[in-house]
Chain A
Amino acid sequence: MSGLPTVTPAAAPRLRLERVTKRYGAVVANDGVALTVQPGEIHSILGENGAGKSTLVKIIYGAVRPDAGVIEWNGRPVQIRSPHEARHLGVAMVFQHFSLFDTLTVAENVWLGLSRRVPLRAVVDGIRAKAAEYGLELEPDRAVHTLSVGERQRVEIVRALLAEPQLLILDEPTSVLTPQAVERLFVTLRQLAATGCSILYISHKLDEIRALCHQCTVLRGGRVTGTCDPTQETTASLSRLMIGAEPPRLVRRESERGALALRVRDLSLPRLDRFDVPLERVSLDVHAGEIVGIAGVSGNGQQELLAALSGEDPRAEDGAVRIFDQPIGRLHSAARRRLGLHFIPEERLGRGAVPSLSLASNLLLTRRESLRRFGWIDRGALRTQTSGIIERFNVKSGGPGAAARSLSGGNLQKYIVGREIDAVPKVLIVAQPTWGVDVGAAAQIRGELLALRDAGCAVLVVSEELDELFAMTDRLHVISKGRLSPSIATEAATVELVGEWMSGLWGEEAAGATAAAPGRAAGAPPAPGEAP
């Protein structure tokens, strides 16, 4: 699976870090970190969120100056004071969030980062040549907004490759890709490494690291807890290095499917903005006591569907969305919440919570229990209620009075998940429940969602993490280009099949897959009084 690293031991390492330390106030983000990357090596930096991966990468890319430590580049000590200097040395980086202008073409975007003396024509030719060299399909004259997320990543990679880097840094590159696209990316990266370019691969996905990387440096709490050859490790042993314990296991029972709770029929919505994805005849059912998942590569209509279900976008036809047969398509989110539909958005700060307000005030966004007559806030009751959630969901915070933005991403997510679960919803819609959350917290959140299901709540999970969907859900849909696939029983689904569906390829085969899961088929009987 992984080719042997083309390492010549005599040569100086491409990059060597020694005792690199960076403090932010009282927090030590990197504590005496050592890292050695050989030429042509694919080296992974593995760690949970908050382990110090991004700080380390920022130091290597010159965006952050370390407080102490030595950096050697090809055997020579260097100071990397800015990304500009890093690029000059031969470091290129592909960020998790792309920095592309939607309205410009591929070539124009690449051109922006180059010296202005290079004519656009030459850039177009350069892109064609690089793309051909690595077998990447890329049309330089297309506008970026017409590209899929995978194609956009290709733009970023080609842009990085045009600089002929000696070290390419990739930050969580697969979070936006279908499994098939991940395979294609790996082929490209192996080819690149074979030419002698070193690759620093940042990820928390253990399987990918085992499949791709030659060496692995594991970070925990800002310190290096080990280096290993990931091909010789098991997922469990890597996980132990990463979190210091066995990965928590999900214990789940068979679902006891109850009444039809959330019912979506032929939901179509035109786009609001030219970069939105229009929804096309989306239909789905979620019953009480089951977890239904929606897989898909980001930017395929998840945001639009979630907004239409939560009530943030109340443009749907009234009857297109129903809970317990009550049409809610035109209700705003507070009205839907009163009917028992709660929603956990993927953006915690700014959407799920107001950054500047306290946790207690943020409780009022979706909870009204501590309100008295005339909308008077019973502050004592509010604090008690907030403390209860903080305690029950093990949220590390400065108490109910702490501002939402003072919490770490994972703790804020626990608080928001807790706030909605504590409301005992009848229908809960969750987007990216464990995004940016450490393994322990992720396990806790998944466990809570399963417990909620077992208590008879209808849960809809939209996630880009296939592992998560396979671990939690009873049935799966796939969303692609604003259309929703039929559902398939999760136990009957395979990564390959879901990957294919992510490209929008379902149909006869999909119908077959659905039929292959008797009793759990998507086509639920029409609700009484509903026209077929």
Chain B
Amino acid sequence: MIRLEARTAPSQLMGVLSPLLAFATTMLVAGAIFAALGKDPLQGLQVFVLEPFNGLRALSELGLKSTPLILCALGLALSYRSNVWNIGAEGQFLMGAIAGGGLALWVTTAELAIPKLAFFPLLVVAGALGGAAWASIVALLRDRFNANEILVSLMLVYIANLLLSWLVFGPWKDPNGFNFPQTVSFAANTEVPRLIPGMRLGWGLPVALLAALAMWLFMFRTYRGMQLQVGGPAPLAARYAGFSSRAAIWTTLLVSGGLAGVAGAFEVAGPMGQLTPHVSSGYGFTAIIVAFVGRLHPLGTILASLVLSTFLIGGELAQSRLGLPSALTGIFQGVLLLALLACDTLVQYRPRWSRSS
């Protein structure tokens, strides 16, 4: 029988080992699933885990998928550290996409000759405003009426989704689009500048990396960032110190909403090039897993987003190469998160093998 014994101090080693252990567990489960589906587990894992790194184009796609994940997860990490449970990054992402896409649409239809480099910062601002405005609804309801931010932020995802659908099925629909629910393709000058010619990876990634660096400085080098992180683990200490919980709610929601919004704007003005009902492939939800796998640490977020985007691409590859359902991606994400939560127990507890009497 295995018994768990509380450690006197949390294990530093396990803090590092736990994500690796969780990843290994996920790979074992993945192999078992491949075998159960009648595929060679090694080949399956090779397609799922290694193939996404094969070649410059694959790496560009990996970076492209990581960009929204990093941006969304950074804000979520800050929120969760502050005990603000925003799980609606998906909705904030969509509102950023609507704001950024709307701006691009306006430039396209008005045929404004604005240079690419001048449009990019405008796009960032539009996305951030869109996402932050959506998150501010959550903050307002929590602040004024103490409404649960988990429920509110989640429900706002569905509203954002419907709003997007209404726009692309209605007023923003491309008149020459054979009635498909999509806008016109945006003009070339609205596109997010690309990093490497011929590859889809754009400036979004460096922006996301800079945001991670900025978030790290904010969290660990500024008073404000430190204040925000007291409310999560020790709400009584925050009250004792006089750190405002209202400020924490507003700051974290506006920052995480803004970052998710920027991610949405990059997505529509980057690889999509137009607004459709399917702007996001669940980035805002996947980012929750990214934030936790990355230990709610800005730099950990970068690594975790690489892992999760590997799964996203691996799922698509498994579908096209092996004929496996792409739902595998979701399963692996779920297994990873569960395994991580289980492994995290080992940070605080020590397993003891003892014979039951």
* Chain A residues with a Cβ under 8 A of chain B: 24-25, 27, 81, 310-312, 332-337, 343, 345, 347, 350-357, 361, 364-366, 368, 371, 374-377, 379, 403, 405-406
Contacts and interface: CB of A to CB of B under 8 A. Distances in A.
Given A334-B242, A355-B233, A364 B357 contact: no
B222 A374 contact: yes
Nearest to B235: A350
A351 B236 contact: yes
Interface string B1-31: 0000000110000000000000000000000
Given A347-B236, A351-B234, A337 B242 contact: yes
Contact of B242 (A24, A333, A353): A333
Given A350-B236, A351-B234, A365-B230, A377 B241 contact: no
A334 B234 contact: no
B223 A364 contact: yes
Given A312-B240, A357-B230, A377-B221, 11 more contacts: A337-B242, A347-B236, A351-B237, A351-B240, A352-B240, A364-B223, A365-B237, A366-B241, A371-B223, A379-B221, A405-B9
A374 B226 CA distance: 13
B43 interface: no
Contacts of A379: 221
A403 B233 CA distance: 13
Describe B's contact surface by its main secondary structure. helix
A365 B240 contact: yes
B224 interface: yes
Contact of B226 (A24, A332, A377): A377
A354 B357 CA distance: 40
B241 A365 contact: yes
A332 B244 contact: yes
Contact of B234 (A25, A81, A312, A354): A354
B243 interface: yes
Contacts of B9: 403, 405-406
Contacts of B194: none
Interface in B201-243: 221-224, 226, 229-230, 233-234, 236-237, 239-243
A228 B236 CA distance: 44
Nearest to A375: B223
20 contacts: A24-B8, A25-B8, A310-B240, A312-B240, A333-B241, A334-B243, A337-B242, A343-B240, A351-B234, A352-B237, A354-B230, A355-B233, A355-B234, A356-B233, A357-B229, A361-B226, A364-B223, A366-B241, A368-B223, A406-B9
Contact of B357 (A81, A353, A361, A374): A81
A343 to B, nearest CB: 7
Interface of B: 8-9, 221-224, 226, 229-230, 233-234, 236-237, 239-244, 357
Contacts of B226: 361, 364, 377
Contacts of A336: 242
A377 B223 contact: yes
B209 to A, nearest CB: 22
B244 to A, nearest CB: 7
Contacts of B241: 333-334, 365-366
A336 B239 CA distance: 12
B233 A354 contact: yes
A376 B8 contact: no
A376 B222 contact: yes
The 4 tightest CB contacts between A and B, nearest first, are: A334-B242, A333-B242, A375-B223, A365-B241
Nearest to B218: A375
B351 to A, nearest CB: 16
Contacts of A357: 229-230, 233
A333 B224 contact: no
Given A354-B234, A406-B9, A377 B240 contact: no
B8 A332 contact: no
Given A24-B8, A377-B226, A333 B239 contact: yes
Contacts of A354: 230, 233-234, 237
Contacts of B234: 350-351, 353-355
B224 A375 contact: yes
Contacts of A368: 223
A377 B236 contact: no
A5 B19 CA distance: 60
Contacts of A405: 9
Contacts of B243: 334
A28 to B, nearest CB: 13
A311 B239 CA distance: 8
B146 to A, nearest CB: 14
Contacts of A27: 8
Nearest to A344: B240
